[in-house]
Copies of this chain bind each other. A is one copy, B any other.
């Protein structure tokens, strides 16, 4: 995991830096699910004591990204397929509504930014950055909704499932399909057709969820077969 304090803010406390680094590492899939996060090891990584590490782990646990058992330490939480499905179902309920609320008040600047992010997918070879680009594209469309609470719940939901999407996007045609759907959503937003944009967003999220669940079902079944055989 990368340690870059400057990216986070000039006067960020150690625990904030560690929290952001760990959150990034988990959502990016750099630390695998079930992997133990030892306080002492992380503390040495950052040249600090275990105190700020514990604060970071507490935050991560509150966000549901790690789970902790008394005296047994923190492990990256692994979501069942049902739990992943639920997060996509949740997003499919929330995000179309936020987009609907944003459209009447959307600035040209935000719309242009969304267009730039949508276009940048095509020229981005690093699959590790697709998740971030996707998030920024949708965020640009949502931000003028003036609904900070909704946006925070969307971000929390994305943090939970992002790490599962990466492999699927690389190994299937998921990325190409997502790009096409982004263009369709964008066209509906440009036309200020809130109903259409919301419906397309809902389908976009549900389709992504179905693809991911399908992909994970296959790969997890494969893992079990390997382990058994």
* A21 interfacial contact with B, CB 8 Å: no
Dominant SS among interface residues on chain A: helix
Q: How far is the CB of A54 from chain B (nearest CB, A)?
A: 7
Total identical chains = 2
Q: Which residue of B lies closest to A60 (CB)?
A: B62
**Given the known A-B contacts A54-B55, A55-B58, are A90 and B11 also in contact in the complex, defined by CB atoms under 8 Å?**
no
B13 touches A70 (CB 8 A): yes
Q: Which residue of B lies closest to A59 (CB)?
A: B62
Q: How far is the CB of A142 from chain B (nearest CB, A)?
A: 13
Residues 152-199 (chain A) with a chain B CB within 8 angstroms? 152-153
Task: Output the residue of A59, A64, A94, A149 with the most chain B CB within 10 A.
Answer: A149
28 contacts between A and B (CB under 8 A): A11-B70, A13-B70, A51-B51, A54-B55, A55-B55, A55-B58, A58-B58, A58-B59, A58-B62, A59-B59, A59-B62, A62-B63, A83-B148, A83-B149, A86-B147, A86-B148, A86-B149, A86-B150, A87-B149, A89-B147, A90-B149, A90-B150, A90-B153, A93-B93, A93-B94, A93-B97, A94-B94, A153-B153
